[in-house]
Amino acid sequence: MREILGRRRRHRPRGRKRSAQLDAALTCATAWKWPVVPGVGLAVSGARGERGRGCACPDPECAVPGAHPFDPGLLAATTDTRMVRWWWTGRPTAPVVLATGGRAPCALSLPAVAGARALAALDAMGLRLGPVVATPTRWSVFVAPYTLERLGELLHAKDRVPSSLRFHGEGGYLLLPPSEIGAGQVRWVRPPSSGSDAPWLPDVELVLDALVEASDSAPDGGSRLAY
C-alpha cells in the first residue's frame, strides 16, 4: 500500500509554472520594495485566444495600448507579496507597472534614438548609471527619487527643456520587463545588478544635462508621445 501511495505522489501533476511577469513583480515588490501594479495588457482576439496589439481597456482609440494601469488603478500599487501573487496568478501575462516616486525610483525618458545617444554620452563622461529600460519607442534612465520642488529648481536653471524629455516622478509610472505592450516588448538596456539589495540609482542632476542635450538633437524633434 505504501508503494502504491508513493507512486501516486510521484505522478501527481504539478501546478502551473510561474510566469516571468510574476517573477519580475515579486522581485520588485519583495526584494527591492518597489510598488507595482498589473498593467491592462493587450486585448485577446480570435478563436485561439491570441493577443493582438490593441488595448484591453474599453477605449478603442487608446494611445498607449496595453501600457497603462486600468483595474486596479495606479493608486493600488503595492509591495505586498500576497497581493502581487494574487494579481499575476490571475493574469500571468499582465505587464508589470512600477509606480514611480516616493520611496520608489523616478526616471527620465527620451525617444529611443535620443535615448541611445544620451546613454552613449553618459558612458563617455564616465558617469555611473543604474537601470535603463527600453520600449520600442522610448528609453528611460532610472534615477534616485526626487521631489517636484527639486525638479522645478533644476529645470528653471535651463534655457530650454525639449518637449520630448519626460519626467516620471510622484504619481507617474513605468513599464518594466518582461512586459509586452502594443508597441512591442519592454526590455532592459542596463539590467539591475544581481543580488537581493535594491539597485543603486544616480542623482537626477547628474544625468539631466546629457538627456536634455540628446533630446535637443533628436532627428524627429522629440515630439512623439508613444510609450
- Whether 206 is covered by a domain: the verdict is yes
Percent of the chain with pLDDT over 70: 83
Tens digit of each residue's pLDDT (9 = 90 or more) over 39-71: 999 998 755 556 677 999 999 999 999 999 999
Average pLDDT of the chain is: 85
Residues 145-168 pLDDT 10s: 999 899 999 988 888 887 788 999
115 or 77, higher pLDDT: 77
Q: Is residue 199 part of a domain?
A: yes
Has residue 129 got a pLDDT over 80? yes
* Distance between first and last Cα of the chain: 60
pLDDT at position 149 is 92
In this predicted model, which residue has the larger pLDDT, 113 or 37?
Answer: 37
Total Cβ atoms within 10 A of residue 157: 9
Tell me the residue ranges of DSSP E strands in 88-176.
96-99, 106-111, 132-134, 138-143, 166-168, 173-176
Residues 40/41/45/49 CA torsion (nearest 10 deg): -110
Q: How many domains does the chain have?
A: 1
Task: State the average pLDDT over residues 136-153.
Answer: 93
pLDDT band at residue 210 using 50, 70 and 90 as cut-offs: confident
Mean pLDDT of 136-140: 94
**pLDDT at residue 6, as a whole number:** 43
Q: What angle do CA 115, 213, 131 make, to 5 degrees?
A: 35
- Would you say residue 59 lies in a domain? yes
Show the domain range for 61. 15-216
Binned at pLDDT 50, 70 and 90, residue 224 comes out as very low
- Cell output for 216: 535637443
Per residue in 82-110, pLDDT tens? Answer: 999 999 999 999 999 999 999 999 999 98
- Within a domain: residue 130? yes
Contact 179, 21 (CB under 8 A): yes
| Distance of alpha carbon 199 from alpha carbon 192, whole angstroms | 6
pTM beyond 0.95:
no
Environment class of 116 (CB within 10 Å of its CB; exposed 0-12, middle 13-18, buried 19+):
middle
Decide which of 33 and 217 is more confident.
33
